[in-house]
Amino acid sequence: MSGGDGSGGSDDVRVDLPLEEIGLSKHFHSWENLYTGQDGLALETIGVSKSFGAVKAVDRLTLAIPRKGMTSIVGPNGSGKSTLMNLLSGTLPLDGGLVVIDEVGLKVVKPYETPQHGLTRTFQEVRLFDQISVWDNIMVVLTERRPFAALLERSKPGHRQKARGILQSVGLWEKRDVMAQELSYGQRKLLEIGRAMALDVDTYLFDEPFAGLFPQMLERVKDLMKQIRDSGRTIVFVSHNMDIVRELSNRIIVLDSGQLLAEGDVEPVLGRPEVIEAYLGA
Amino acid sequence: MTALARRAFQPGELRRRAAAGDVKLWASLLILVWAAVFMIWQGLGFAISIGSVFAIWAILAVSLNLVVGYAGLLSVGHIGFFGIGAYAAAILTSNASYEQLRTEAIPTFAWPFFAALPVSIALVGVAAVVVGVVLNRFRDDIYVLVSFGFAIIAFNVFLNGRGLTRGAFGVHQIARPAIGGWELTGELEFLILLLVFLALTVAVSWLIVTSSFGRVLTAIREDEQAIEVFGYRATHYKLAIWVISAMLAGLAGALFASWTSFIDPNSFILLESVLLVSIVILGGLASIWGSLLGAMAFVLLEEGMRFLPFLPAEYVGQARQAVLGILLVLLMLFRPQGLVGRYRL
C-alpha cells in the first residue's frame, strides 16, 4: 500500500505504534490508511504469517476485505493466495497474527467453527465427496451438526427443498443420483460452488473458481457468483484471469511473495508500476 | 416369444445387465443358494451350527463396516472389543462353585446373562472411548498400525491378566442365557437368540447409516478436511461411530462366550481381526447387506472345505485362509468395491 491516497481516516487518528514489533506488514505504513469499507469489514488479517520450512508463504500480512461486493486476490504463482485462503478458513493453522472474521479476532481459526462466524469456501483443487451422490453432497451440509442429534435426524422436507433449489440453480438437478466422481470437471466446479451456496453465510471464499473452465461453464460460474453478490453477501475470490477480475471485482488485493503489494479499487491498483512489474517480472 | 423375452435375449441387454449392478444380484443369489443347498444336504444340526457361527461373524462384520466402510477408518483392532465383551460376560456370569475347583481363581459374580450383557457392552464402550481418543490423533497408514497395536495389547491382556482371565487356561462353563426359568441350552433356541440380536444390530446400523449422521460419516470418509469447513467436527463423529461399533462387537463377544461356553485368548488373536476386515471388504464396504453376505460366504467357505475329499482335515483351517486371501486379491483386481458394495478403498 503506498501512503497518501487517503482512503479513510484523518491525521487525528494517527497512532504511532512500532508496527514491525507487533508483526504488521511493512506495507502497512500508518493507521491513516486503515481501510474500513462502506459497510464495515467482512474479513481482516493482522500480521498473519505462515511458513513451510524455510519458505515464507504468507509473511506478516495485514489486509482488509470490505463487506458486500467482490474482492479479488491476485498475484503471481507462489505469491501466497491459496495459503491465505487456507489460513482464513482454518484449513491451515496460523504461525502468527490474527484473523478477524466478522469482527471476531481469532488467533486459532478452527475450520468447523468458520460457518458460525459466517464463512465458507471452495478449494483450488475441487474437493467434493466423490463416492457419494450429487444429492448427498448438497444434503450433507444442510443437516444437523451435533453428532447425537444427527443420529436421530432423518432428512427433513426443508432440507430436501433447499437441496433441490441449489441443484436446480447450478443446473445439476438431472444428475442428482450420480456419484460426484462421475461428473465432468466443470460440473464438479459447479457442484462445489452449489455446496458452498447451500450454507447461508455472509462470506464466501472461492479459490480459483474459473480455472480450467470452458467459456460456457465460465459464464455460469460468473452468474452464480453475481447471484450471491446481489443477495448482499461478500465474495472473496482468487483468479489469474484479469478480464474476469476487472469485470467482477470492486476491490482487489495483490500479493507478492506472501506480502501485500497493493490493495484498493481495481483499475488504479492494476495500473500501478509495482503491480505491473510483479506480473511482467514473474 | 414375448417382447420381454426378446429384449432379455438381445446381446446388448445381456451385456448391459452383466456389466450393471447385476453382479450384486448374482452374488447374492449364489451365496444364498449355496447356503440353502449346503444346509439341506448336511441336515438340521449342521444348519443350526452354521447359522450360529454366521450370526456372530455377521454382527461383527456389520459393526466393523460402520467404521471401515462408512467412516473410512481401516481398523484391524475390532477383535479386541469382541474379546473384551466376551471376557466381561464370561467373568460376570462365572460361577463360584466351579472356580473353587481350579487352581487359578478369578472374581466370580454369577450374574444372569441378561444382566451381564448390558454391563459388558458398557465396559466395551468405556474401553472404546479411551482407545478411540488415542486413535483419533492418527490417520491413514498410522491409524491402521495403531489399531493393530490395540489388538495386540488386548490379546496380551487376555493372556497375561490371569487374575481376571485365567490366561491360557481360559474361562470354562460360561452360563447360557435364561429367560424367566427357561434356560437356552438348546442350539436351536440359541440360534434364534443370535438371529434376534443380529436383526437388532442390522436395524441399529441401518438407522445410523440412513440418518444425517450416516451421511456425514461418508463425507468424512471422502474428505475429512472439506466436511469440517461446513461446521462438522469430524473427530466427534469418528469417536461416536467408533464407540457404537465397538459396543456392537462387545455384544457379539458376550454372545460368543455364552454360545461356546469356553473362551481363551486364542479366540481373539490378530488374525481373526484380519479375517474380519477381509469379510467386510469381500462383501462390500459401506453395505450392510454386503457384510451379511460376506459373513455367510466366509462361514460357508470355512465349513464347506471340510467336505473336500482331497483336503486332509488338519489343513482345512490354513486352506480356508489361503482361499480367502486369493479371493481378496481377485476382488481388489476386478471388483474393488466388493461383491455388493459401492465404495472403493
- The 10s digit of each residue's pLDDT in A133-150 is 999 999 999 999 999 999
Q: How confident is the model at residue B306 (pLDDT cuts 50, 70, 90)?
A: confident
pLDDT at A15: 42
CATH of the domain at A228: 3.40.50.300
**Is residue A4 in some structural domain?**
no
**Is residue A6 in some structural domain?**
no
B343 touches chain A (CB under 8 A): yes
**Is residue A110 in some structural domain?**
yes
- The Cα of B203 is separated from the nearest Cα of chain A by a number of Å equal to 13
B216 touches chain A (CB under 8 A): yes
State the total domains in chain A: 2
| Helix, strand or coil, per DSSP, at residue A236 | strand
Look at B301 and A87; give whichever has higher pLDDT: A87
Please determine, for residue B1, whether its predicted confidence score (pLDDT) is greater than 80: no
Residues A26 and A166 in one domain: no
Q: Do A120 and B227 touch (CB under 8 A)?
A: no
Residues A109 and A234 in one domain: yes
Q: How confident is the model at residue B25 (pLDDT cuts 50, 70, 90)?
A: confident
Reported as a single tens digit per residue, the pLDDT across B128-160 is 999 999 999 998 899 999 999 999 999 999 999
Q: Do B229 and A89 touch (CB under 8 A)?
A: yes
B218 touches chain A (CB under 8 A): yes
Across A8-12, B114-118, B120-124, least confident range: A8-12
Q: Say which of A129, A143, A152 has its CB closest to residue B218.
A: A129
Residues A97 and A166 in one domain: no
pLDDT at A238: 96
Please determine, for residue B305, whether its predicted confidence score (pLDDT) is greater than 50: yes
Please determine, for residue B115, whether its predicted confidence score (pLDDT) is greater than 70: yes
pLDDT at B153: 97
> Taking CA atoms, what residue in B is nearest to A86?
B229
**Is residue A252 in some structural domain?**
yes
Domain holding A142, by residue range, is: 129-182
pLDDT at A4: 38
Phi, psi angle pair for A57, to nearest 5°: -70, -40
List, for chain A, all residue ranges whose pLDDT scores fall below the cut of 50.
Answer: 1-19, 21-23, 25-30, 32, 282
Residues A233 and A104 in one domain: yes
Residues A252 and A141 in one domain: no
Phi, psi angle pair for B43, to nearest 5°: 95, 170
Name the grid cell of B320.
480356508
Q: How confident is the model at residue B2 (pLDDT cuts 50, 70, 90)?
A: very low
Across A23-37, B10-24, B48-62, least confident range: A23-37
Chain B residues with CB-CB distance to A139 below 8 A: 215
Q: Which of A145, A161, A182 is the last residue of a domain?
A: A182
Q: Are B71 and B237 in contact (CB under 8 A)?
A: yes
Please determine, for residue B83, whether its predicted confidence score (pLDDT) is greater than 80: yes
Q: Do B343 and A155 touch (CB under 8 A)?
A: no
Residues A174 and A113 in one domain: no
- Cα-only R_g, chain A: 20
**Is residue A85 in some structural domain?**
yes
Residues A94 and A29 in one domain: yes
Please determine, for residue B4, whether its predicted confidence score (pLDDT) is greater than 80: no
A89 touches chain B (CB under 8 A): yes
B225 touches chain A (CB under 8 A): yes
Q: Which residues contact B268 (CB under 8 A, 6 or more apart)?
A: B79, B80, B82, B83, B86, B154, B155, B158
Residues A69 and A97 in one domain: yes
Q: Which of A114, A147, A182 is the last residue of a domain?
A: A182
A111 touches chain B (CB under 8 A): yes
- The Cα of B222 is separated from the nearest Cα of chain A by a number of Å equal to 5
**Is residue A1 in some structural domain?**
no
Q: Kind of pairing, strands A41-52 and A55-66?
A: antiparallel
pLDDT at B301: 86
- The full DSSP string for A24-75 is --TT---GGG----SS-EEEEEEEEEEEETTEEEEEEEEEEEESSEEEEEE-
pLDDT at B327: 84
